[in-house]
Amino acid sequence: MSARDAFPAQLEAVLQQRGYQVVVQNAGVSGDTSAGGLSRLDWTLADRPDLVIVELGANDALRGLDPAMTRENIDAILTRLKAAGVQPLLTGMLAPRNLGRDYYSKFDQLYPDLAQSHEISFYPFFLAGVAGRPDLNQRDGLHPTAAGIAIIVGKILPLVEECLQQLKAAPLR
């Protein structure tokens, strides 16, 4: 997928069309795990973001990594973002059902639990409306097409705008 079709570029374009003066940077690395996201956090914080959308963990589940480790990594990310004065927006993921009920129950629940314990904005399933739809996913069946990304942007947009409004009302850091 071209950079202009990716989630950050599409989100930035829509927000700018709606009058927000924002730059949406892509700090993600395709195929990376929550541990990778945690290891890159200093790089992300160096840009002094106001809002970070935390969308990690799908690759952890695809690799069958222990949900407790995913929880620990994302918890550390959220803790560090908040300590740096950055507003996090957590997006949830769902584990593949072929990993068994015990696994997917633990994995799926870690996101709402973390959002509640950190008292942060939460979008329950990043791929809502797109997952499982061949017409909206690339040939691998996992990654959305540009059209799928557009649907994701449309669905998450109200929550992103709510977060931006909260930032606007908050005192400067």
Q: Around 38, how many Cα atoms within 13 Å sit in the side-chain half-sphere?
A: 17
Token pair listed for 19: 């009058």
Token pair, residue 154, equals 């449309």
Nearest CA to 76 among 109, 45, 31? Answer: 45
Report the predicted TM-score, pTM, of the whole model to 2 decimal places: 0.93
> Domain 3-168 adopts which CATH fold?
Rossmann fold (3.40.50)
Measured between alpha carbons, how far is 15 from 21 in angstroms, rounded to an integer?
Answer: 8
Closest CA to 123 of 133, 131, 108, 111: 111
pLDDT at 111: 98
Residue type, 101: R
Q: How confident is the model at residue 170 (pLDDT cuts 50, 70, 90)?
A: low
Joined together, the tokens standing for residue 71 give 């929880």
Are the beta carbons of 122 and 109 closer than 8 angstroms?
A: no
CB-based contact 82:90 (threshold 8 Å): no
52 strand-pairing partners: 88
The beta-strand segments (E) located in 1-143 are 51-54, 87-91, 121-123
- pLDDT per position as a tens digit, 54-85: 999 999 999 999 999 999 999 999 999 999 99
- Mean pLDDT along residues 122-136: 96
Ranges of H-type helices in 18-62? 34-39, 41-46, 58-62
